[in-house]
Structure 1
Amino acid sequence: MNIILVSDVFGKTPALEKLGEELNTTVIVDPYDSKNMDFKNEAEAYSYFMDKVGLDKYLSKLLEISTSISLDTTLIGFSVGASVIWKLSANPLVKNISCGICYYGSQIRNFKEVNPLFEVELIFPKMETHFDVLQLQSDLCKKENVKTSKVDYLHGFMNSDSTNYNKVAYLEQLNYLLLKLQGQNTNQL
């Protein structure tokens, strides 16, 4: 099984590469062609991403990669990476994605009309400043192929470059992912 990480606005960072190693990731997709951007903070990273890349361009990049794979693949995304996985999930051209695991994809709120064609697990933070997490969960959990949950941490808790990074949460979710991925591999034997 392939595992592809889809980065947040920080792009490919040493911390994300470390997570990739822990999960035995095949590829890391990021908006900046693997260039280390070395952003000073989230505001700078978000501003650069929106000005220079944007969700549609990032989605096109992930679509190109997703349609070229031939093995069963799980996508794991963070923030804007989670949002592009969500948008990708409705594309009938994507054939070999078995599952998307999406952490704190806040832009998903703008694409509630998406109906995923593969299993998507949405893991939301305990709160977001721009929308009601519980309401979004309620709207999305009724959809086929969608599972939602809310954790007791803030947006960015998996990224050590984020002000909301939480080591305990990171380790909890790392263990969760390892068990989930191991279960998927076992189911395919």
Structure 2
Amino acid sequence: MDGKTVVVVLHEIYGVNRHIKETAAALEAQGYDTLMPDLLGGRTFSYAEAEEAYRHYHSTVGAEGARDRLLPLLRRLRERSGRVLLVGFSVGASAAWLCAAVEGAADGAVCYYGSRIREHAGLEPRCPVLLLWAEQEPGFDVQELSASMAGMEQVTSRIFNAQHGFADSGSLRYDGASAFEADREARSFLKQAPVFPED
């Protein structure tokens, strides 16, 4: 991993499941090293267990807890790697957003449908961030939130006419066309993310 770009793939409430492993494998095929931190201690949930998974994640981890667990790992990676990039899905995207607001934690972050970002929308990222929103979010107005963040220098937003989970081929909400376009934008973004300047 020394001197290479590493992409840290951050899981949803379900844990390190097939979708996360396939995402990491696709990134490795593009030449990146990857890590998939397990914030659930080896536990995974099926999609049918969504309510239990949601309760478990938010009672044992949470957005700030995820950030606090990830930052020491990101600091170690920064000492060994050329670049550290984050790719997060749902709660993993919210964790990536919080980490991106910490100076020097990462060189870039891609956040897929991070609906809880709305609770931390006032944070200013310290690295480039690509927000890939699902327009059909039941809990809030995505267009309104995206517009409120439009002035942030480091933030690029794209809204897809799809549901939360659209990039996960194992989900009932999977949308192949939106997933393809989002992944294309994510690949382009990751290639262009700058190396954080050395202190």
1:37: Cα distance to partner?
3.8
What is the Cα-based RMSD across aligned positions, in Å?
Answer: 2.0
Structure 2 unmatched runs, 5+: 195-199
**Structure-1 separation of matches of 2:50 and 2:175:** 15
**Structure-1 separation of matches of 2:187 and 2:157:** 18
**Structure-1 separation of matches of 2:156 and 2:187:** 18
* SS of residue in 2 equivalent to 1:66: helix
Q: Which residue of 2 aligns with 1:66?
A: 74
Q: Which residue of 1 aligns with 2:197?
A: none
1:8 pairs with 2:12: yes
Q: Which residue of 1 aligns with 2:96?
A: 85
**Structure-2 separation of matches of 1:66 and 1:120:** 16
Amino acid at match of 1:97: A
Q: Which residue of 2 aligns with 1:19?
A: 23
1:140 pairs with 2:149: yes
**Structure-2 separation of matches of 1:147 and 1:179:** 12
* SS of residue in 1 equivalent to 2:94: helix
Amino acid at match of 2:175: N
**Structure-2 separation of matches of 1:184 and 1:145:** 11
Count residues with an aligned counterpart: 183
Q: Provide the TM-score with structure 2 as the length reference.
A: 0.82
CA offsets 1:160-184 (integer angstroms, 9 cap, x no match) = 3433122333333334333443455
Q: Provide the TM-score with structure 1 as the length reference.
A: 0.86
**Structure-1 separation of matches of 2:37 and 2:174:** 21
CA offsets 1:102-123 (integer angstroms, 9 cap, x no match) = 0111111111220111001111
Structure 1 unmatched runs, 5+: none
Q: Which residue of 1 aligns with 2:52?
A: 44
Amino acid at match of 1:23: L
**Structure-1 separation of matches of 2:181 and 2:121:** 28
**Structure-1 separation of matches of 2:84 and 2:41:** 21
